[in-house]
Structure 1
Amino acid sequence: MYRARMRASRLKLLDPDLAPTRLRERLPQPVEIAELTAEPERRRRVVLKSLLSMWGKLSNPALTSPAERGAIVRNTLDELGGVFIKLGQLLALRNDLFPTEFCLALSDLHDRATAFPPGVAKRCLEEAYGRPLDSVFSEFESVPVAAASIGQCHIARLRKGGQLVAVKLQRPDAPSMFWRDIALFGSLLKPLSLLPSSELFNWEDALWELKDIVTEELDYRYEAAALAMFRKKLRKHRNIYVPQVFSEWCTPNVIVLEYIPGVFMSELLHTKETDPEKVLRWQQENHIELEEVGRTLLQSLYRQMFEEHLFHGDLHPGNIVLLRNNQVCLIDFGSVGRLDIDFLDSFHGYMKALAERDFENAILNMLSTSANLPNVGIDSLQAELLNAFRTWHRKTLVADLPHREKSVQALGDYMQPVLQRYRMSMNWSFLRMNRAFGTLDITIQKLLPTLDHPSEMKRYQKGAQKRARKKARDVRPSTLALIRNGMILRQHEEMNLSITNATNMRRVQQLEALRFKSSLTKMEFLVLSMMRLVQIGAVALGLAVVWAWLAQHVPQVQDAMRLHESRLGNFIQNLPQFAWWEGLLLLLFLGKALLSASRVITRIHETVR
């Protein structure tokens, strides 16, 4: 134990004394192992068949429940795996377009897959390191403890240093499989863009997000860099720990990090439902207060967003590990949200206004981050959103109400019908941040069922101000001289006055800018509607030309369609006869019209961005 503590101290690893006792005897759950197969042609057929089957089920008029629809989509994407799991996770963010029950069903997607054989894993590691596996690890468990569509995880012990580590190894066929599926999804975008309200989904942005996610997740160096960055930034966060990454043994398809012997939050929440007395005894043994843990997680997330400008994007219970003395370890940094300053300024203003119950200002800041503004007056939208905010606020004041009715996620539920009615969608940065709160809410609603979010936000604001004042104490001698002369005090008063005036002016400017952008959106909407009508008309007329020519010149088509002695047949026969080259010229003209309309639509979308 003494040697382990010395190594931990030297490498700044987790103190072994923080490892908690087991909550329950873990039953062995061996991961299923299967041989690697390469079948790209069959994959395309399977995907198309599954999507068509899903569409058929969703078209059933008897199906009215959003939860049932979400379950159908989730099961289909779960069976397809790979990129389609990531696509489902992106769609789960769109609570501005879909009902909450639908999004919750999709958020239950779990990326599980069969593992590849131990022999393949050993060969991949030796190829990555260019040396025998025994020269890197003194112990290596050949059977993985977990597997997903991108990779699998093994437990090992480093020969150099003797640390127990988790080794994440990428599937050899993952890059080809993922990029093949992305190409297939890209080919489906054209027909999807012709559907009504397709502009609300921002399919091209979704494809870009999907490519960005896959690019980072297929190169483990991104996660290794994120781990190192979060470990540095979160070191000052109270009771938060991030595992050490061993960069020496990390490659594009292998990442080695410190193994954390803790209890997963998912395990605790499950046991809390089935055996609460056991959880209470375990808390006493390990000096853990669940309310304190919940506040630690929420305050850390606020701080990650507004002070560090990047945040853990997937804080579901399976990525939170409990340690002794209310310590918490965060794992799996494959999903990291990064924020630019312009967006962060608006979102920070939004959260601060929520904390101060200044809902009018919160709505202005929220609308300034939107991907598109409504095609009607902005004032009526503000009035309806204000009613939604006030409804949410009234519920936050009732301590006995369940957390799900007054969480930040619940506020999105109240706004969703309004946003959908005004055909408005939020940008991806806002949705990613909302998802971070939503995934953490799974834990918060169990640990802090009576939490008042505005009060908790105000608690964060006070802490942030204290940290800012602490940084300001480290001043230069020249600044100290100004303080003695009283200049800093006068400058501070003048600055407060100017900030107040600037805030009032900014609110007016925001409202006028939103009204102006909304008026532009009306014209864009009119042009987009006309161009989509041109697209649909060109496709329909082209199909009609081909059908009419075949019906006039090919007897077999007439027989197959039973056009003889029918009104439709007489109508087609009475149409002017045209040669094949005349029909071809007409089709070329229609194709040109379709292409021109598509270019106009693309140009408008680029201008809006």
Structure 2
Amino acid sequence: MPPTYLLRYICWRKVRVFMRSISPPRINRFSQFVRFFRVSRLLLWTIWVIYRERQRVVRARERGNYQVQPNVEVLIEVLTAFRHTAIKLGVLMIKLGQFLSSRADLLPERALTVLSTLQDEVPPEPFEHVVSVIESEFGRPVEEIFSSLERKCTAAASLGQVHKAVLASTGETVAVKVQRPNIDSLVIMDLSTLKFVIWVINRLVDTSDFIDLMGVYNEFRRTTYEEIDFVREASNAKRFKEMFQDDPTIYIPTIHEEYVTRRVLVLEWIDGIKINDYATIDAQGINRLEVAKRTVKAYFRQFFEEGFFHADPHPGNIFIKKYSHEDGPVIAFVDFGMTGTLTKNMKRSMKDLFLGFVMRDSHTIVTGLSRLGFIGEDANMAAIERGMGLMMEQYYGMTLGEVRDLDIPEVAQDIENLLYGQPFQIPAQFAFTGRAIGTLVGVSTGLAPDFNFIEVATPYARKFLGLDAAGVGQTIQDLGGQLLDTGRVLMSLPRSIDRLISRIETGQLEVRLANLPGGKRTRRRRRGQQNHVQLANGNGGHGSTAWVIMFAVAVAGGVFLLSTAHLVIPGWFCLGVAGVTVLAMLFKH
């Protein structure tokens, strides 16, 4: 090594060591206080206005006045201020804005659009910061790692940004993801502030009927700490690569493990077209419908088969490779910081949702949503079922394009009343999943208006529900258990009805009436001969009535299951119970 170069290298090392000792500058106490004040004020104002408008509408609708609507102009004003401040403060505020942009149960559509472009407005950090982080993480000059590193970032997010580079060792083009400065300190500060604001709000008002604030906080905390750990993101990427290694239609970039730290992540560069760049897709002669199918199929596999999914599918994270497979477009996913997992209980409830959707049974759908935590305890279940039935009637079997072209303001108003007027909430574990699904639906609609989700979902749903060859044994076992439970209930029904009728006739039944005029609750007891209910004449009359009711219920259930739900085994089981009931009545007489 020439002496001049060696001397210059030693000087550079001393300078870099000094720079690492002083950068990035720590946030002083005054700056911390100012940020705490701005974040607290912003969150308190935003949550209070949303809560106030919601309560005003809910109270009006409780009085039967369905003409009252939230003050959209006030909501737009507060959300516009939130967006501007969030862009300046960055980090957690941007993630909160993204969360709010998916909450159709909290905000009207016009207000939601204010936050829809928040992700695209995040300003990048200076290039000097990028160089400083890379050199401090790997302990050597950036020129030794990359033969070229573009100054302009290709993508900027709330927690980091991406630059295109070329590895000096192999000449391979790569994507370099670098964290923003002071990210750990800012995350800790913002999370502490958010927790304080939630504590204050919970002391002042009860928001549990429309949002679980502490649950949302815990979900924010979990996902944020996962996103700022690039080692974990690299592990997620490798898991997805293994997941799709035998699928030529899906591509996951390779991670360069020798260049992975908690603050820097180097992975294969994807030379592709953004999934929402429709003009370029058409110019390349790519089949947009096939792109939509393959993208959605990949997500159905993640949801139904793996139970582990990419939770941030916005257009900047999904590409169509330019040099795709000869059999059609190859879809490439990037950015694996946000992922989701489906637990066994969640899968069980989701099965109820699918069965309800296939059977067009709004009651089963609402039950599944309630088990998943989407519906509060004080909800008007009958009203929600009617709303679900209305949506099923209007939208079942339609393509996304047909839904988009519909002009049914009355139905839209009914749906908004359903969401806004009931304790319908998004559980914390679904805080970002709903946004992901909404984004995926939007992208698919833009790609191919004729795309039909039901057609693509059917094979995955069959496997998920255990209706394929591999799962038929478990399905029969589960069905057998359900039939036994149903049989026990049906066989015990006459005895239960006997007891009920006996209590009515002897005056032992107590009836409680709630929400009477004046807000008072009264209690009325039927005693002796007062308000006496005579259901049958002669001894044992009410027992015969019970068996008749038993017979009628069994026949009605069997006819419904066979003719409407097309469930053969449960239907014939109910008819069999009806036959046994008739025999029991004959033997009794």
TM-score with structure 2 setting the length: 0.65
Aligned residue among 39, 42, 49 for 2:34: 42
Q: Which residue of 2 aligns with 1:427?
A: 427
| Contact in 1 for aligned 2:401/2:448 (Cα 8 Å) | no
| Contact in 1 for aligned 2:383/2:418 (Cα 8 Å) | no
Aligned residue among 265, 274, 278 for 1:264: 274
Indicate whether 1:212 and 2:222 are aligned.
Answer: yes
| Contact in 1 for aligned 2:399/2:450 (Cα 8 Å) | yes
Q: Which residue of 2 aligns with 1:296?
A: 294
| Contact in 1 for aligned 2:304/2:461 (Cα 8 Å) | no
Shift of 1:225: 0.9
Correspondence list, 1:450-529, <5 A: 450-461=450-461, 469=469, 498-503=477-482
Determine the C-alpha separation between the residues in 2 that align with 1:466 and 1:238: 26
Q: Which residue of 1 aligns with 2:212?
A: 202
Mark the CA change 1:234 to 1:385 in structure 2 (over 3 Å): closer, same or farther: farther
Determine the C-alpha separation between the residues in 2 that align with 1:202 and 1:340: 20
Shift of 1:363: 2.5
Mark the CA change 1:355 to 1:246 in structure 2 (over 3 Å): closer, same or farther: farther
Q: Which residue of 1 aligns with 2:175?
A: 166
Indicate whether 1:250 and 2:266 are aligned.
Answer: no
Mark the CA change 1:74 to 1:127 in structure 2 (over 3 Å): closer, same or farther: closer
Determine the C-alpha separation between the residues in 2 that align with 1:214 and 1:400: 33
Shift of 1:219: 1.2
Determine the C-alpha separation between the residues in 2 that align with 1:345 and 1:281: 44
CA displacement, residues 76-108 of structure 1 (integer Å, 9 cap, x when unaligned): 433432211111222334333433444454343
Q: Which has the higher contact order (CA 8 A, sep 6+)?
A: 1
- Amino acid corresponding to residue 502 of structure 1 in structure 2: G
Q: Unmatched 5+ residue regions in structure 1?
A: 1-34, 272-277, 473-491, 511-609
Q: Which residue of 2 aligns with 1:343?
A: 346
Moved more, 55-64 or 37-46: 55-64
| Contact in 2 for aligned 1:150/1:218 (Cα 8 Å) | yes
Mark the CA change 1:342 to 1:214 in structure 2 (over 3 Å): closer, same or farther: same
Shift of 1:63: 4.2
The percentage of counterpart residues that share the same residue type is: 24
| Contact in 2 for aligned 1:337/1:433 (Cα 8 Å) | yes
- Which structure has more helix as a fraction of its residues? 1
Correspondence list, 1:368-387, <5 A: 368-370=371-373, 373-375=376-378, 381-382=381-382, 384-387=384-387
CA displacement, residues 489-531 of structure 1 (integer Å, 9 cap, x when unaligned): xxx78x6654334345779999xxxxxxxxxxxxxxxxxxxxx
Q: Which residue of 2 aligns with 1:133?
A: 142
- Count of residues in Structure 1 that have an aligned counterpart in Structure 2: 438
Correspondence list, 1:26-65, <5 A: 38=27, 39-48=31-40, 50=42, 63-64=71-72
Indicate whether 1:240 and 2:245 are aligned.
Answer: no
- Amino acid corresponding to residue 442 of structure 2 in structure 1: I
Q: Secondary structure at the match of 1:96?
A: coil
Shift of 1:169: 1.0
Shift of 1:143: 3.8
Shift of 1:249: 0.6
| Contact in 2 for aligned 1:350/1:361 (Cα 8 Å) | yes
| Contact in 2 for aligned 1:241/1:329 (Cα 8 Å) | yes
Indicate whether 1:183 and 2:203 are aligned.
Answer: no
| Contact in 1 for aligned 2:353/2:365 (Cα 8 Å) | yes
Determine the C-alpha separation between the residues in 2 that align with 1:505 and 1:453: 35
Q: Which residue of 2 aligns with 1:579?
A: none
Q: Which residue of 2 aligns with 1:478?
A: none
Shift of 1:196: 3.8
Determine the C-alpha separation between the residues in 2 that align with 1:412 and 1:233: 39
| Contact in 1 for aligned 2:387/2:415 (Cα 8 Å) | no
* RMSD of aligned residue pairs (Cα, Å): 3.8
| Contact in 1 for aligned 2:395/2:403 (Cα 8 Å) | no
Mark the CA change 1:416 to 1:242 in structure 2 (over 3 Å): closer, same or farther: farther
Determine the C-alpha separation between the residues in 2 that align with 1:374 and 1:509: 28
Q: Which residue of 2 aligns with 1:360?
A: 363
Mark the CA change 1:401 to 1:245 in structure 2 (over 3 Å): closer, same or farther: closer
| Contact in 1 for aligned 2:86/2:93 (Cα 8 Å) | yes
- Amino acid corresponding to residue 257 of structure 1 in structure 2: L
CA displacement, residues 259-312 of structure 1 (integer Å, 9 cap, x when unaligned): 0111112333xx4xxxxxx753322xxxx2100110111121111011111111
- Amino acid corresponding to residue 316 of structure 1 in structure 2: H
- Amino acid corresponding to residue 43 of structure 1 in structure 2: R
| Contact in 2 for aligned 1:364/1:507 (Cα 8 Å) | no
Mark the CA change 1:209 to 1:498 in structure 2 (over 3 Å): closer, same or farther: closer
Mark the CA change 1:402 to 1:497 in structure 2 (over 3 Å): closer, same or farther: closer
Determine the C-alpha separation between the residues in 1 that align with 2:277 and 2:337: 21
Determine the C-alpha separation between the residues in 1 that align with 2:466 and 2:439: 28
